[in-house]
Chain A
Amino acid sequence: MSLLELKHIYKIYGELHALDDVSMKVEKGEWVSIMGPSGSGKSTMMNIIGCMDKPSKGEVLLDGVDISKESSKNLTTVRRDKIGLIFQQFHLVNYLTAVENVMLAQYYHSIPDEKEAMEALERVGLADRARHLPSQLSGGEQQRVCVARALINYPEIILADEPTGNLDEANEEIVVDLFHKLHDEGTTLIVVTHDPEVAEVAQKTIVLRNGRVVKEVVNQNFTGKIHFSEEGTHVTKTDLKSEEEIKAEESK
C-alpha cells in the first residue's frame, strides 16, 4: 500500500480546471518532486496533499484512508499528525526565536519540549542560532528553522513548497543536502518546485502542465545531490501522456 495515493483528482474553480484528472502514488521513504511552470497546478496539488484544501472530485488516500471528504477540523488534525510543511516564504513567527518557532509546532501537536526542539535545530545545524529571532537569521538559516519545525513532530511526509525559491545557490545546496539526509533517515519527501535542478535530485519527478500530469520521471542515478549547470541526469521516462496527446485532447 502506498503512503499517499491520489486517484483521479479534479480541482475546479468555475470554468478553470486547476487539477484535471491527476493520479499519482508516493511510497513510504520516497523522495518525489512535483514540477511544472507557473499556473500548472503545483500549489493546488500541494494544498490537497497538505490537507489545506479538498479536491472537487477524486480520492486522496493517506495511509490507505480517504481524506478527501474530511471536515476542515479533521484535516487540521491529519495535517498536524502526519505532514510537515516547508514554505518558500519560510513563514516563521517573527517575535519568536528560532527554537520557539520549532516549539510552536510541538505546542499545537502535543507538548512543547525545548530539549527536543534544540535537537531538531542541531539536526539542521542551527543549534548556535537557537535564540535568534528570524530577523537576525539569513534566508538559508530561516529555511533550516522551517525544516526543523517541519521535522519536530516526526511526520510521515515532509511537504516542501518551493523550498529553495528564495535562496542563493550556497543555501540551496545546504537545504537540498538536508533533504538528502532526511531521505537517508527514511523520511518521505514531496518537494514542489519549478526549478529543474532541485526537481531532478529527487527519486521521482512528476511534471504538471495545465493541471495534468504530463510526465513521471524516475531518476535511475539518484544520488540526492544537487548538480548545478549539468545537462540533465540519467533518467528514464515513463510518460503517462505526452504533451502532444494532451494538446490533442484539449483541442477536442
Chain B
Amino acid sequence: MFFRMIKGTLLRQWKKMLMIAFTIALGASLAAAMLSVMFDVGDKVNQELKTYGANITVVPKSASVLNELYEVEDGEGTGAYLREDELGKIKTIFWAFNIVDYAPFLKVSGELDDGSVITVVGSWFNHHMELPTGEQLDAGIASLRSWWEIQSGEWLDEQSNEDAEIAMIGSALAKKLNLSAGDSIHVKGSTGEKNFRIIGVFDAGGEEDDQIFAPLNTVQALEDLDGCIDSIEVSALTTPDNELAERAAKDPSSLTVAQYEIWYCTAYASSICYQIQEVITDSVASPVRQVADSEGAIMEKTQLLMILITILSLIGAALGICNLVTASVMERSSEIGLMKAIGAQNGAISGLVLTEIFITAIFGGIIGFFAGFGFAQIIGHTVFGSAIALRPVVIPIVAILVILVTLAGSIPAIRMLLRLRPAEVLHGGH
C-alpha cells in the first residue's frame, strides 16, 4: 500500500517531482564539481607551482650552521659535502611518491684562459636512475628549471652524451665572452681542466646567467671531488603547513606519539624534510619558505572559494526544495487531511512525504553527481589543462549533503503537514 501511494504520488505529481529532482541535481552537481576540484586542486596547484622550481633544499649540516651564522649560501667553500651515492635514497622515503624531481649541485670556481674566474655548477640535467625499489627515474634541472629560456642551442641531454665535456652557459656570461651554442670554452679547476662544448645558452633571469652548468661528474673532476655534492634541490608535492607542522618543524621531539604519527604520515614540507634528513647523511633539509607559503596560501584561498560556492549552491537548492515541497504539500492538503482523518499518525504521513522526496532526491542526486563530475572535467581542462580525478570520498560527501539539503528543505513542509488539522481541510472549521 505504502509503495502504491508513493508510486501514485510520483506519477501524479511528476512535474513537481521533476522540478525537485532538477533542483537537487543542480545543487548536487555544483557540490560534486566543487568537491572534486577541491580535492584534486591541491595536487594540481602543487604541480603548477612545481614548474617554478624546487621547494626543499638540502645542504650539509655544517654548511647549514654556517649559513645561519654567517649567511653563507649553500655551504659553498665550507669544505662540507653531501654524498652523491645517497641521492637515490630520497626516492625511498615514506613520501617517495610525492617527490616529483630533484637535482644535486656542486659549485666550483673555474679559471678561464684570460685569467678571469667564473662559477661552474655541476648538476644533473636529465639523469637516469635505477632505484633500489626497481623504479626508474629521470631527474635533473631540465625539468626542475623548466622556466629557463633557451636562447640558442638546446637543453643538454645527459643521457646521450655520457662523460662528454659539454655544458650550458648563462646568457650574461655568453654575451660577455661572446659565445654561443656550438662554441667551446676552456675552464681550469684546481686539479683538472675541461674544454666544454656549449650545447645551449639559457636565460634564467638570475645569478645563473653568469654561470656555466655542466654534468656533475665533469665538474667534480675539475676539483677532484668525486662523489661530492654541496646541495640538493627537491621538488615535492606538499600539504600546506598547519600549527602541528610548524611545531614539528621547530622540534619534532616536542610532539606526542600520536601527533608525531599524524605529522610523519602527512605530506607536510617539514615531515618530508625530516624524512630526507633521515636518509642523507649529515644533512639539513629545509623548505624554501616562499614557495611553500605561496602554495599554502593559494590552496587555502582556492579551497575556501570552492567551499563557499558549494555552501551557496546547497543553500539555493535547499530554498528551492523548500518552496517546491511546501507547494506539493499544500496541493495535497485534503489528501493528507483525509489520511489523518482515517487514522494516519503524523509520523506515518511525514514518512510517506519524506520517502517521496528522498526517492526524488536520489534520482536528482545521481544525475547531479555525474553532471558535477562532468563540470569538474570542464574546470580541470580549462583551468589546469588536465582531467580531474574522481575521488571516492566525494561520493559519500555529496550523498550526505544531498540528504541534509533535502531534509533541511523539507522541514517547513513537514512542519506545515504536522500542523494541518483534518477538520480544517475536509470541511470548514465551524
Tell whether A pairs with B. yes
Chain A residues engaging chain B, CB cutoff 8 angstroms: 11, 13, 16, 18, 41, 43-44, 46-47, 50, 52-53, 73, 76-77, 79-81, 85, 87-89, 91, 93-96, 100, 103-105, 107-109, 112, 149, 161
In the bound complex, what is the Cα–Cα distance between A48 and B404 (angstroms)? 39
Decide if B335 touches A93 in the complex (CB within 8 Å): yes
Decide if B348 touches A108 in the complex (CB within 8 Å): yes
In the bound complex, what is the Cα–Cα distance between A161 and B343 (angstroms)? 17
Residues of B within 8 A of A46 (CB): 427
User: Considering only CB atoms, which chain B residue lies closest to A109 in the complex?
Assistant: B343
In the bound complex, what is the Cα–Cα distance between A23 and B204 (angstroms)? 103
Interface range, B side: 20 to 34
Q: Is B190 an interface residue (CB 8 A)?
A: no
Q: Taking A52-B423, A100-B1, A112-B1 as contacts, is the C-beta distance between A95 and B430 under 8 angstroms? A: no
Q: Taking A52-B421, A104-B339 as contacts, is the C-beta distance between A73 and B345 under 8 angstroms? A: yes
Residues of B within 8 A of A53 (CB): 421, 423, 429
Decide if B339 touches A85 in the complex (CB within 8 Å): no
Extra 5 A-B pairs, beta carbons < 8 Å, given A77-B345, A91-B338: A53-B421, A53-B423, A79-B343, A95-B9, A108-B342
Decide if B5 touches A96 in the complex (CB within 8 Å): yes
Residues of B within 8 A of A80 (CB): 342-343
Residues of A within 8 A of B428 (CB): 43
Decide if B8 touches A91 in the complex (CB within 8 Å): no
In the bound complex, what is the Cα–Cα distance between A101 and B130 (angstroms)? 77
Decide if B343 touches A108 in the complex (CB within 8 Å): yes
Most buried by A among B5, B334, B337, B426: B426
Decide if A18 touches B343 in the complex (CB within 8 Å): no
Q: How many A-B residue pairs have CB under 8 A?
A: 89
User: Considering only CB atoms, which chain A residue lies closest to B2 in the complex?
Assistant: A107
Q: Is B11 an interface residue (CB 8 A)?
A: yes
9 intermolecular pairs with C-beta atoms under 8 Å apart = A44-B429, A47-B429, A47-B430, A79-B341, A91-B335, A100-B4, A107-B2, A149-B342, A161-B426
Residues of A within 8 A of B342 (CB): 79-80, 85, 104-105, 108-109, 149
Q: Taking A52-B421, A73-B345 as contacts, is the C-beta distance between A87 and B339 under 8 angstroms? A: no
Q: Which B residues between 314 and 364 are near A, CB-CB below 8 angstroms?
A: 334-335, 337-346, 348
Contact of A13 among B343, B344, B430 (CB under 8 A): B430
In the bound complex, what is the Cα–Cα distance between A214 and B348 (angstroms)? 41
Decide if B430 touches A93 in the complex (CB within 8 Å): no
Decide if B341 touches A52 in the complex (CB within 8 Å): yes
Decide if B338 touches A43 in the complex (CB within 8 Å): no
- Majority secondary structure of chain B interface residues (helix, strand, loop or mixed): helix
Decide if A43 touches B12 in the complex (CB within 8 Å): no
In the bound complex, what is the Cα–Cα distance between A85 and B343 (angstroms)? 10
Q: Which B residues between 1 and 24 are near A, CB-CB below 8 angstroms?
A: 1-2, 4-5, 8-9, 11-12
In the bound complex, what is the Cα–Cα distance between A100 and B9 (angstroms)? 14
Decide if A89 touches B426 in the complex (CB within 8 Å): yes
Shortest B293–chain A CB gap in Å is 61
In the bound complex, what is the Cα–Cα distance between A161 and B338 (angstroms)? 13
Leading 7 A-B pairs by shortest Cβ distance: A80-B343, A95-B8, A52-B423, A108-B343, A18-B430, A107-B1, A47-B423
Shortest B344–chain A CB gap in Å is 4
In the bound complex, what is the Cα–Cα distance between A47 and B427 (angstroms)? 9
Contact of B339 among A11, A88, A89, A108 (CB under 8 A): A108
Shortest A166–chain B CB gap in Å is 12
In the bound complex, what is the Cα–Cα distance between A181 and B2 (angstroms)? 32
Residues of A within 8 A of B11 (CB): 95
In the bound complex, what is the Cα–Cα distance between A183 and B159 (angstroms)? 106
Shortest A195–chain B CB gap in Å is 16
User: Considering only CB atoms, which chain B residue lies closest to A92 in the complex?
Assistant: B338
User: Considering only CB atoms, which chain B residue lies closest to A100 in the complex?
Assistant: B4
Shortest B8–chain A CB gap in Å is 3
User: Considering only CB atoms, which chain B residue lies closest to A133 in the complex?
Assistant: B8
Decide if A76 touches B340 in the complex (CB within 8 Å): yes
Contact of B343 among A11, A44, A89, A105 (CB under 8 A): A105
Contact of B427 among A73, A88, A105, A109 (CB under 8 A): A88
Residues of B within 8 A of A18 (CB): 430
Decide if B4 touches A96 in the complex (CB within 8 Å): yes
Shortest B262–chain A CB gap in Å is 50
Decide if A108 touches B344 in the complex (CB within 8 Å): yes
User: Considering only CB atoms, which chain B residue lies closest to A38 in the complex?
Assistant: B428
Decide if A104 touches B345 in the complex (CB within 8 Å): no
Residues of B within 8 A of A108 (CB): 339, 342-344, 348
Q: Taking A94-B12, A105-B342 as contacts, is the C-beta distance between A161 and B430 under 8 angstroms? A: no
Interface string of B72-90 (1 = CB under 8 A from A): 0000000000000000000
Decide if B1 touches A85 in the complex (CB within 8 Å): no
Decide if A43 touches B430 in the complex (CB within 8 Å): yes
User: Considering only CB atoms, which chain B residue lies closest to A96 in the complex?
Assistant: B8
Residues of B within 8 A of A13 (CB): 429-430
Residues of A within 8 A of B1 (CB): 100, 103-104, 107, 112
In the bound complex, what is the Cα–Cα distance between A53 and B427 (angstroms)? 12
Residues of A within 8 A of B4 (CB): 96, 100
Q: Which B residues between 124 and 165 are near A, CB-CB below 8 angstroms?
A: none
In the bound complex, what is the Cα–Cα distance between A50 and B11 (angstroms)? 32
Q: Is B365 an interface residue (CB 8 A)?
A: no
Q: Is B122 an interface residue (CB 8 A)?
A: no
Q: Is B27 an interface residue (CB 8 A)?
A: no
User: Considering only CB atoms, which chain B residue lies closest to A41 in the complex?
Assistant: B430
Q: Is B422 an interface residue (CB 8 A)?
A: yes
User: Considering only CB atoms, which chain A residue lies closest to B12 in the complex?
Assistant: A95
Shortest A12–chain B CB gap in Å is 10
Residues of B within 8 A of A104 (CB): 1, 5, 339, 342
